[in-house]
């Protein structure tokens, strides 16, 4: 079983515009759709569709429409009682695939809710192969919450993956090696946040074909105790730095054939889910990376908040090469 934690879940409302977004003008919606969202929920949905037992943990009022949406999506959930409705995030998608996200802050967390989250995740972790901590933290949650959870979960036997950004990511990095997870999944900018370097420059150089800075930065994280670093680079592909049989750093780079990008929402979550799907099948690192980039690429080709549910591995067309 794989457990995902989404501390700030959302109803993801996607609206495809009939024409490019005009600031200050009248914009018409061609179609819209609501789906249960939040990074951990997205990961759990892809995992469940891929035949992996997954449980999404998130705070919400028991009778919030979000809980019903998750159930209708086939995602087993552990709902932590919370005050205040689940937020609604709006994604506006231009016809060319450019997306504009408008995210609500979500309700304020209480100390009681945080204690219950820790207890529920710890209880489930004892039966899990992976625990995935992902997404932003709602108001009222200390920035070090994920770092605390990583250290608390070490004795459960589950491996831990983290996918977050900004203050929670900085707080996690500040606690390495004691809070170093088994896997981190940053994009280029977040990789910079983790390592204290210019993430925008990392992404620019990767887009120009220079992957050496990304690999070397990922290796600095491995040196602080992180197990594996999966860096998603949008249309430029993805890099995985992991240890081999002798635990020496090994790096791979993967790309897929170009796709028409319709929305990037959920692409990073899908890449993480693809990696975990392959890992659950005992795949070697290069195959895990292939599954990751294929899931991320397909997600980017789908409109709104579409996810690659039940993707056929035989359809994968990733190109993977060793970088060292």
β-pairing, 54-60 vs 2-6, is parallel
Q: Of 115, 269, 312, 324, which is the active-site residue?
A: 269
- Given strand 159-163, what is the order of strands in its sheet? 77-81, 54-60, 2-6, 130-134, 159-163, 183-184, 228-232, 238-243, 249-255, 319-322
CA atoms 300, 229, 169, 127: torsion sign: positive
CB 236 within 8 A of CB 207: yes
Rounded Cα–Cα distance for residues 271 and 285 (Å): 14
The DSSP symbol for 187 reads: B
Rounded Cα–Cα distance for residues 239 and 215 (Å): 7
- Comparing C-alpha atoms, which of 68, 75, 37 is closest to residue 54? 75
- Comparing C-alpha atoms, which of 79, 84, 54 is closest to residue 68? 79
Beta bridge partners of 102: 90
Length of the chain: 324
Rounded Cα–Cα distance for residues 185 and 163 (Å): 5
Structure tokens at 83: 């005050």
- Comparing C-alpha atoms, which of 291, 239, 301, 243 is closest to residue 267? 301
- Comparing C-alpha atoms, which of 77, 75, 105, 72 is closest to residue 89? 105
Distance in angstroms between the alpha carbons of the first and the last residue of the chain: 33
Q: Is 269 a catalytic residue?
A: yes
HSE-up (13 A, CA, CB side) for residue 89: 22
Active-site annotation, residues = 269
């Amino acid at each position: 079983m794989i457990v995902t934690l989404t501390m700030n879940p959302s109803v993801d409302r996607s609206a495809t515009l009939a024409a490019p977004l005009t600031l200050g003008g009248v914009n018409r919606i061609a179609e819209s759709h609501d789906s249960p969202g939040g990074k951990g929920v997205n990961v759990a949905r892809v995992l469940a569709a891929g035949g992996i037992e997954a449980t999404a943990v998130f705070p919400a009022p028991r009778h919030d429409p979000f809980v019903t949406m998750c159930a209708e999506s086939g995602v087993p959930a552990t709902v932590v009682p919370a005050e205040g409705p689940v937020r609604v995030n709006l994604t506006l998608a231009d016809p060319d695939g450019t997306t504009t996200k408008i995210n609500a802050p979500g309700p304020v967390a209480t100390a009681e809710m945080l204690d219950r989250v820790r207890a529920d995740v710890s209880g489930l972790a004892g039966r899990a192969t992976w625990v995935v901590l992902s997404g932003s933290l709602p108001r009222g949650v200390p920035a070090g919450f994920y770092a605390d959870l990583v250290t608390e979960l070490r004795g459960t036997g589950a491996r831990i993956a983290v996918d977050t950004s900004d203050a929670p990511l900085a707080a996690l990095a500040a606690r390495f090696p004691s809070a170093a997870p088994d896997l981190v999944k940053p994009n280029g900018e977040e990789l910079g946040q983790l390592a204290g370097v210019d993430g925008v420059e990392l992404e620019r150089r990767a887009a120009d074909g220079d992957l050496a800075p990304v690999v070397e930065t990922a290796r600095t994280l491995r040196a602080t105790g992180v197990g594996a670093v999966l860096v998603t680079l949008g249309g430029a592909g993805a890099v995985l730095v992991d240890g081999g049989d002798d635990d020496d750093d090994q790096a791979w780079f993967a790309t897929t054939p170009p796709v028409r990008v319709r929305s990037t929402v959920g692409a990073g979550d899908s890449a993480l889910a693809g990696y975990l799907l392959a890992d659950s099948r005992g795949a070697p690192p290069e195959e895990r990376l292939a599954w990751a980039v294929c899931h991320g690429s397909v997600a980017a080709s789908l409109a709104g908040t579409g996810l690659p549910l039940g993707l056929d591995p035989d359809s994968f067309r990733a190109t993977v090469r060793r970088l060292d």
